[in-house]
């Protein structure tokens, strides 16, 4: 028969538990940070879109697109925290639908870039055009680019079911998710700021329509690749 713990033993046990939880939290935090940092730096639709918007339409457009991407990533975080990522990833029809819709959207915005006309690369003209576009439309474009990326579903599945233990508390996953969302915003904001520096913009200003076409072609190819499932 096991004797009940004395008050001092209870205190020691509670303190040990708190230390263990703190160690688990920071262990997971640094793993998530390292993996997500590498994922942010990997070229993909988000990077291409931010580059296109920053070089072609200026800093504000690049940052608004970045905000949209972060909000879109937040959607993935929400359903992952509640354990829905496994259901999405294991549902073949749903994952196929996401691939088709996401791929078609990338092809659509890529096609719009490919159709860019010569003369649209002059900074003043493009800045004026950017100012006429509603803020919400720019943010929405970035959000859809991220939300409709099926590879994001697979990425979240690997993080929340492989890297993190199923026993990880929901509040802890929520903190990780908020940090990951902030990381993705900071990374693409830096990309937008660097590419919209006046010296860089002036260098590319004469080739603005070609930048649109190249980025548009890259987005379209990524869309086809997404739909093919490769």
Q: How far apart are CA 135 and CA 116, in angstroms?
A: 21
**What is d(CA 210, CA 48) in angstroms, rounded to the nearest whole number?**
14
What is the pLDDT averaged over residues 35-55? 86
The tens digit of pLDDT for each residue in 181-208 reads 999 999 999 999 988 887 776 666 666 5
* Predicted structure pTM score: 0.73
* pLDDT mean over 56-84: 89
Per domain, the residue ranges of the chain are 7-228
Question: Which residue would you say has higher pLDDT here, 11 or 48?
Answer: 48
Q: Cα-flanking dihedrals φ and ψ of residue 122, to 5°?
A: -70, 130
| Per-residue confidence (pLDDT) for residue 124, from 0 to 100 | 43
Q: What confidence tier does 35 reach under pLDDT thresholds 50, 70, 90?
A: confident
Q: What is the 3-state secondary structure (H, E, C) of 17-64?
A: HHHHHHHHHHHHHHHHHHHHHHHHHCCCHHHHHHHHHHHHHCHHHHHH
N-terminal to C-terminal alpha carbon distance within the chain: 60
- Cα–Cα dist 27/123, whole Å: 47
Q: Which residue has the higher pLDDT, 71 or 14?
A: 71
Rounded average pLDDT over 8-23: 51
Dist. CA 192–CA 83, nearest whole Å: 33
Higher pLDDT among residues 81 and 2, named by residue: 81
Mean pLDDT for the chain overall: 77
pLDDT tens across 114-152, in order? Answer: 776 655 444 444 555 555 678 899 999 999 999 988 788
DSSP state of 83: T
Model confidence at 30: pLDDT above 60:
yes
Percent of the chain with pLDDT over 70: 69
Most confident residue range from 12-16, 31-35, 85-89: 31-35
Query: Does residue 15 or residue 31 have the better pLDDT?
Result: 31
* 3-state secondary structure (DSSP) of residue 172: helix
Q: What is the pLDDT of residue 188?
A: 96
What backbone torsions phi and psi does residue 137 show, to the nearest 5 degrees? -65, -40
Write the DSSP symbol of residue 165.
-
């Amino acid at each position: 028969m096991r004797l009940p713990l004395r008050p001092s033993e209870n205190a020691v046990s509670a303190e040990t538990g708190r230390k263990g939880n703190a160690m688990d939290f920071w262990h997971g935090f640094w793993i998530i940070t390292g993996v997500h940092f590498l994922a942010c730096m990997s070229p993909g639709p988000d990077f291409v879109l931010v580059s296109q918007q920053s070089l072609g339409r200026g800093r504000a457009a690049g940052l608004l697109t970045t905000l949209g991407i972060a909000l879109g990533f937040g959607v993935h975080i929400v359903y992952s925290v509640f354990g829905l990522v496994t259901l999405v990833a294991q549902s073949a029809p749903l994952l196929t639908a996401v691939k088709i819709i996401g791929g078609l959207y990338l092809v659509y915005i890529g096609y719009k870039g490919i159709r860019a006309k010569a003369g649209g690369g002059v900074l003043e003209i493009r800045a004026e055009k950017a100012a006429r576009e509603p803020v919400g439309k720019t943010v929405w474009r970035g959000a859809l680019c991220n939300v409709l990326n099926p590879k994001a579903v697979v990425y979240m599945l690997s993080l929340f079911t492989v890297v993190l233990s199923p026993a990880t508390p929901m509040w802890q996953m929520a903190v990780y998710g908020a940090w990951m969302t902030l990381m993705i915003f900071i990374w693409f904001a830096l990309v937008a700021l660097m590419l919209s520096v006046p010296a860089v913009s002036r260098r590319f200003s004469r080739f603005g329509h070609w930048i649109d076409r190249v980025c548009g072609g890259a987005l379209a190819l990524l869309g086809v690749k997404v739909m093919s499932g490769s």
